[in-house]
Amino acid sequence: MNTQSNAIPVSFDSPKAAPAVLSQPHPFYWSVRRELWEYRFLYTAPLIVAGTFLFGFLISLGHLPARVRAAAALAPEQQRAALVAPYEIMGGVMMFTAILVSMFYCLDALYGERRDRSIIFWKSLPVSDLTTVLAKMSFPLVIVPVIASAVGAVLQLMMMLLSSVVLTASGLSVAALWSELPWFRMSLLLLYHILTAHALWPAPVYGWMLVVSGWARRATFLWASLPVLAIAGVEAIAFRTSHFLTFIGGRLIGYAPVNMNEGNVFPTNPMAHMDPGSFLSSPGLWGGLLVTAGFVAIAVRLRRRQGPI
């Protein structure tokens, strides 16, 4: 006995569903995302430093009302110095953090993928060596400074809000705090200073570290430091000078011509100001960027030729 099927007949003449159109992923964007996935210390290190500094600042808040009352009898310049000291220290800490994070990243950026042999997989993807190296170089020049500046700006705001709560609870005015420390201006100056003095100015040093990362088989920090120390040693013995070491140190720690009025580089200083015209017209900046471009080209060739360790 035949049973009637309840299945709905399929018509082969029915129109087929159009396939979904997927957007083409941008290789540079995903290369940057890859670095953020692999090197989480790029953003966790500034957050940990900020959290540690905030903890110390919370402990010091108990003495803030007494310091403000004691500063009332001082000259206006001394009063201001007493208020802005923690914010200046915080700015210096975030600048130093950005330098350390960029250094350690550059020394491992190309070496790490060769050490764990993941370079075999990454080279199988349709991403050029130039795109990969440029994405890696964008971290010390742009991304790390932006992360450090953003964390510093949020930390500044939290410090000011907490200080306002403590001063208000003690019956003191917070007008002087907010007038002496305009938060938005401080945030812009911090971003400007880290981008110029601690990213673009030391770019050749970061480029050199990227080259060493693509060439060395081990001990990247040692190989990056030895040529500098050797040249400095020869200069010291032959000429009794230290110009080369001073030059490299100035490049690394950010002795940039930012024109912040005789070294008043901290964003809390009322004399500090942004002068991008003077900075962008500096021959030292463009000479350093030219050297950086050469190092990037060498790093691209090294990544193309070097295999896993």
Rounded distance, CA 295 to CA 233, Å?
24
Q: Is residue 11 part of a domain?
A: no
Q: What's the structural domain count of the chain?
A: 1
Q: Is residue 38 part of a domain?
A: yes
Greatest CA separation found in the chain? 110
From the centroid of its chain, how far is CA 160? 24
Contact (CB, 8 A) for 53 and 155: yes
pLDDT at 67: 82
Q: Is residue 250 part of a domain?
A: yes
Rounded distance, CA 1 to CA 151, Å?
78
Q: How many residues does the chain have?
A: 309
Q: Is residue 16 part of a domain?
A: no
- C-beta contacts of 41-45 below 8 A and 24+ residues apart: 41/101, 41/104, 41/105, 42/101, 42/105, 42/139, 42/143, 42/144, 42/147, 43/147, 45/97, 45/100, 45/101
Q: Is residue 170 part of a domain?
A: yes
Rounded distance, CA 232 to CA 169, Å?
56
pLDDT at 202: 93
Is the full-model pTM beyond 0.95? Answer: no
Per-residue pLDDT of the chain (309 residues; tens, 9 = 90+): 444 545 444 444 444 444 444 344 588 999 999 999 999 999 999 999 999 999 999 998 888 888 878 877 777 777 777 778 888 889 889 999 999 999 999 999 999 999 999 998 888 888 899 999 999 999 999 999 999 999 999 999 999 999 999 988 888 888 877 877 888 888 888 998 899 888 999 999 999 999 999 999 999 999 999 999 999 999 999 999 999 988 888 888 775 544 444 444 455 554 455 677 788 888 889 999 999 999 999 999 999 988 888
Q: Is residue 2 part of a domain?
A: no
How would you label 139-159 residue by residue, b for 16+ Cβ within 10 Å and e otherwise?
bbbebbbebbbbbbbebbeeb
Q: Is residue 266 part of a domain?
A: yes
Residue range(s) defining the domain that contains residue 241: 27-305
- Residue 58: strand, helix, or coil: helix
Of 133, 298, 135, 296, the C-alpha closest to 207 is 296
Of 224, 211, 199, the C-alpha closest to 97 is 199
Q: Is residue 18 part of a domain?
A: no
